[in-house]
């Protein structure tokens, strides 16, 4: 089996998400993967919020756009799969381009400052699996009448030892009260749970949507209200909250204390929001889309620090929460680093798109993950 896996992984992967096409095209036609299929190593069963899984590794809310994507990544050996964020109403994606590579030197010099513009790469990176990217999608969603039956199909596509998380987000709009905003999350949770979600993830942190949707995690009171509404509606299903980077430890502590007892886990981190410019210094994604989410290799250090800070506070206070680490995971060593920092499980996004064999590689190198 080891020799067969090595031969499979020697084939150079290409991205499953066509960055030269629109989100809608990828939703309708993707994933762009025709094999070769890896021989996925057998691994011991682990516990994931009471569910038996073959690994504590999977795909974050990003590229699992529908049941076809779910089926493909499940067959590739990714065991904890997050169905891309859904809304209570249809919303189109931002126009292309949506996903671009960033210049390594610009990222190294400016990522630490939230307001320093980061520049696009002049040419594709030598190894896109570990590269840093900028994404500007706007959390699109098909209509509920489309995603409800498709979530059921996605759940049926999973094999033994795999779990389906479904991500939800409320839609901020003029005149919507806070009470109705919170209630919308609850209604979404009830719907995705009925459709087949094993766990419900609440997106509190999209980097390129309306501020009210994208920065909920910075408001502990509102985050807790949403968590309680989702928990009440999700039945016995575990509830996860996805946050952005919370650099201030006091702010991190306030968030964790507020949501403990309502949520079962936190997913850290979503792509940090930064200004993105082209070679001429103009907004790379066009006017009105000056900021985008930074993902991939360079955010690993930020994500590791966030996970370590959260896990340390949870242990110190004995809070009933687990942490799922996301950000820059491209190898078994990266996944191990997050687990060592206190993560309960680990997910990838960018690397999973450019390396569909990542789960098989991790299982071969570290079957205990």
pLDDT score recorded for residue 207: 58
CA distance 139 to 315: 33
Which of the following is catalytic: 206, 259, 299, 352? 206
Q: Is the pLDDT of residue 146 over 50?
A: yes
Sign of the alpha-carbon torsion through 194, 199, 205, 208 = negative
What's the pLDDT score for residue 313? 99
Q: Of 100, 96, 99, 137, nearest to 122 (Cα)?
A: 100
Does the pLDDT at position 68 exceed 90? yes
256/266 Cα distance (integer angstroms): 9
pLDDT of residue 46: 99
| Six-digit token string for 32 | 């762009």
| 192-236 confidence digits (pLDDT tens) | 999 999 999 999 996 544 455 568 999 999 999 999 999 999 999
Give the domain range for residue 163: 2-365
Can you tell me the mean pLDDT for 269-285?
97
**149-177 per-position pLDDT tens digit:** 999 999 999 999 999 999 999 998 888 99
Residue 1's pLDDT band (cuts 50, 70, 90): very low
Cα gap 54→368, rounded to integer Å: 9
Residue 8 has pLDDT above 80, yes or no: no
What is the signed CA dihedral for 233, 235, 240, 242, rounded to 10 degrees? -20
- Backbone phi and psi for residue 348, each to the nearest 5 degrees, phi listed first: -125, 160
Residue 212: its pLDDT value, please? 55
- What is the mean predicted confidence (pLDDT) over 140-147? 98
Residue with tokens 């996970």: 307
Q: Exposed, middle or buried, 188 (CB in 10 Å: 0-12/13-18/19+)?
A: buried
Per-residue pLDDT, averaged over 108-113, amounts to 96
Q: What is the mean pLDDT of the chain?
A: 95
3-state SS assignment for residue 296: strand
Percent of the chain exceeding pLDDT 90 equals 92
Handedness of CA 183, 187, 190, 192 (dihedral sign): negative
Instruction: Name 46's bridge partners.
Output: 53
Asked if 93 is an active-site residue, the reply is no
Please check the confidence at residue 357 and state whether its pLDDT lies above 60. yes
* Other C-beta atoms lying within 10 Å of the C-beta of residue 361: 18
CA-to-CA distance for 56 and 336, rounded, in angstroms? 11
Per residue in 23-67, pLDDT tens?
Answer: 999 999 999 999 999 999 999 999 999 999 999 999 999 999 999
What CATH number did the domain enclosing 53 receive?
3.20.20.70
Q: Which of 8, 124, 142 is CA-nearest to residue 67?
A: 142
Q: What is the pTM of this model?
A: 0.95
How many domains, in total, are found in the chain? 1
């Amino acid at each position: 089996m080891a020799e067969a896996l090595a031969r499979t992984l020697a084939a150079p992967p290409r991205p499953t998400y066509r960055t030269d096409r629109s989100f809608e095209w990828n939703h309708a036609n993707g994933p762009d993967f025709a094999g070769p299929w890896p021989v996925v190593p057998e691994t011991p069963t682990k516990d994931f919020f009471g569910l038996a899984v073959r690994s504590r590794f999977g795909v974050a809310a990003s590229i699992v756009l529908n049941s076809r994507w779910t089926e493909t990544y499940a067959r590739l050996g990714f065991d904890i799969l997050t169905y891309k964020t859904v809304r209570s109403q249809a919303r189109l994606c931002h126009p292309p381009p949506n996903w671009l590579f960033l210049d390594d030197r610009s990222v190294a010099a400016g990522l630490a400052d939230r307001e320093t513009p980061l520049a696009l790469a002049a040419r594709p990176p030598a190894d896109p699996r570990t590269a840093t990217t900028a994404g500007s999608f706007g959390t699109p969603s098909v209509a509920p009448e489309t995603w409800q039956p498709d979530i059921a199909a996605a759940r049926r596509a999973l094999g033994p030892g795999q779990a389906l998380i479904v991500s939800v987000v409320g839609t901020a709009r003029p005149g919507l009260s806070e009470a109705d905003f919170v209630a919308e999350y609850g209604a979404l949770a009830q719907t995705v749970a009925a459709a087949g979600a094993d766990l419900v993830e609440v997106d509190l942190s999209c980097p390129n949507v309306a501020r009210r949707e994208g920065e909920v995690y910075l408001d502990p009171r509102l985050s807790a209200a949403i968590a309680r509404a989702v928990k009440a509606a999700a039945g016995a299903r575990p509830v996860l909250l996805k946050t952005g980077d919370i650099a201030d430890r006091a702010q991190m502590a306030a968030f964790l204390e507020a949501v403990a007892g309502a949520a079962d886990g936190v997913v850290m981190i979503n792509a940090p929001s930064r200004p993105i410019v082209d070679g001429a210094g103009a907004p790379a994604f066009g006017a009105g889309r000056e900021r985008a989410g930074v993902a991939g290799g360079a955010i690993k250090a930020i994500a590791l620090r966030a996970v370590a800070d959260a896990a340390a506070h949870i242990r110190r206070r004995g809070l009933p929460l687990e942490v799922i680490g996301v950000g820059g995971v491209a190898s078994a060593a990266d996944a191990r680093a997050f687990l060592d920092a206190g993560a309960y499980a680990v997910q990838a996004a960018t690397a999973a798109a450019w390396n569909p064999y990542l789960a098989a590689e991790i299982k071969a190198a570290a079957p205990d993950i």
